[in-house]
Chains A and B, each alone.
Chain A
Amino acid sequence: MSATTIVAPARPFAWLPTSNWTIKLIGGLVLATLWQVLVGAFLPAYVAKPLGIIAAIPTVVTNPLFLSAAWATLSAVVRGLAVAIVLGTFVGLALGRVKLVERAFGFYVSGLYAMPMVAVLPLVTLWFGYTGAARMATIIFAAFFSIAINVADGAKSVPPEHLEVARSYRAGWREIWFGVTLPAAMPYLLAGIRLAAGRALIAAIVAEFFISIEGLGFFILFNSRTFHHNEAFVAVLLLALFGVGVEAAMTWATRRFLPWYRREAKTD
């Protein structure tokens, strides 16, 4: 049989380095022109437009208020993600490797994962007050469950032969968890981090709306209320850049460190 010539890497950015740059560039220009013209024609003058946003970029990125807001939000997201990754990996390994833990606690984790995390905000503000700690708690809550669930899936998917070999060499539970299971669950962990980063960003922004503390979410809220939509949109661009950056980093890491994983079929 002839080999298929179609490569279908089911990952974002997989198509980026190949070619087609001109088509993408033209597509972007067309979309931006449409945005500029349609908003200019039908919506009030204060609504953000590409040219206005580009003009606003220099003043916004040199504005110390914007810089400290960006630092407040993004550093909180990164720290919250780090906590969620460590905790989520441990809990995920326990869920995936120990039957009793999964039977006893699995439904808590999957139930809380399915819950829209924004809903806990009022409770979190009652507990932590209207402070950065409440934002941090929301970020960790939003990010933790997607990591725990993904690592648990990964831990369950370890080939049984690997575990058998490890056991016949009298490996202790620590070797089995961190030497055999965790490396095999790595692609799942990276997928979990990608999901968690998106959820953590949303959590941080929504928390800032709710709590009104310094950050990009509040920067956007404040500027859009005073009809500085172009300035506010620069903050949206930074958030988008962060989201895309995490996606790209995870795709790169999967390719670079886990090339064996690309053979397997997976969807999300």
Chain B
Amino acid sequence: MATGESWRIRYLPPAISLIAGAALWQWVGSQTSAAFLSTFSATVARLVALTVSGEVVTALAESMTLFFTGLVIAILIAVPLGVMLARFRVLRVASETYIMMLYATPMAALIPFILSLMGFGFTPKVVVVVLFAMFPILYNTIEGARSVKPELIEVARSYRSSEWGLWRDVLIPYTLPFALTGIRQGIGRGLVGMIAAEFYLSASGIGRLITVSERDFDTAGVLASIIIISILGAALMAVGRRLENHFAAWRGLGR
């Protein structure tokens, strides 16, 4: 498949488009004040400078510690809870409406409450990331739970499966692909939560990098940080999608 022809069709348009985009950016940037939009070259130079000075690494380390702490806690709460709701129908019926409401609630609205209750520090920021990331996971796990066929549980029971065996061989494998869809969504929302927490609670990581540059009208710094965040977001989303697709076959609708 990788003949010269298909290679050209595949990579030429994006390459031309990227170069054209950079050239356009450079031109617009050079026509306007640096406080409005810095040029492409100035942004790249700033990106390199931030990387060489180690600021990017420090900021990324801070942000990623926050993000993964929050994401792992969200998964550890939401997945077991979701599977438990798969097992006990009454609990599921009693709670799913409220979970759905929380899923649709913009969690950003809770940030001021967390601020006035918990103040500044690492813990309130983790709470924000957990709140953002948890409900997509819980919601999707419950979607999976709702579709566990009662026949499967009945058959497992007829073969005298223990409760643990039922969880291990039926419930967890059945709900896992759904949970992973939720985790992929949770990654996206958790990143938003991470940045929001770094903006409004104690400034740290990439969020601080952006706000500090903004205060100095340093658009090169703002744009460089946004590029870093975009790469980070795209990479994390790609990992999430990979995981999801890997287990999607279990649903019987693999792609």
Residues on A close to B: CB < 8 A? 4, 6, 8, 10, 12-13, 15-16, 20, 23-24, 26-28, 30-31, 43-44, 47-48, 100, 103-108, 110-112, 114-123, 125-127, 198, 201-202, 205-206, 209-210, 216-217, 220-221, 224-225, 227, 229, 232-233, 235-236, 239-240, 243-244, 246-247, 265, 267-268
Contact with A along B102-122 (1 / 0, CB 8 A): 111111111111011100000
B36 at interface (Cβ–Cβ under 8 A)? yes
Number of A-B contacts (CB under 8 A): 180
Contact A244 B113 (CB under 8 A): no
Decide yes or no: A23 and B195 within 8 Å by CB, A198-B104, A224-B113 being known contacts: no
B219 at interface (Cβ–Cβ under 8 A)? yes
Chain A, interface SS category: helix
Could you say which of B102, B113, B200, B210 has the most chain A C-beta atoms within 10 Å of its C-beta? B113
Contact A265 B106 (CB under 8 A): no
How far does the alpha carbon of A5 sit from the alpha carbon of B98 in the complex, in Å? 27
Decide yes or no: A43 and B117 within 8 Å by CB, A103-B14, A122-B211, A244-B100 being known contacts: yes
Residues on B close to A: CB < 8 A? 9-10, 13-14, 16-17, 21, 35-37, 90-91, 93-98, 100-113, 115-117, 139-140, 143, 146-147, 149-150, 178, 181, 185, 188, 191-192, 194-196, 199-200, 206, 210-211, 213-214, 217, 219, 222-223, 225-226, 229-230, 233-234, 236-237, 251, 253
Contact A122 B213 (CB under 8 A): yes
Chain B, interface SS category: helix
Which 10 A-B pairs give the minimum distances between C-beta atoms?
A: A27-B94, A243-B104, A122-B214, A224-B112, A103-B13, A240-B105, A104-B17, A8-B147, A201-B106, A114-B233
17 further A-B contacts with Cβ under 8 Å, apart from A23-B90, A114-B230, A202-B107, are: A8-B147, A20-B93, A28-B98, A31-B95, A103-B13, A104-B13, A104-B17, A116-B191, A116-B192, A116-B233, A117-B192, A118-B196, A198-B104, A209-B111, A210-B199, A240-B105, A244-B105
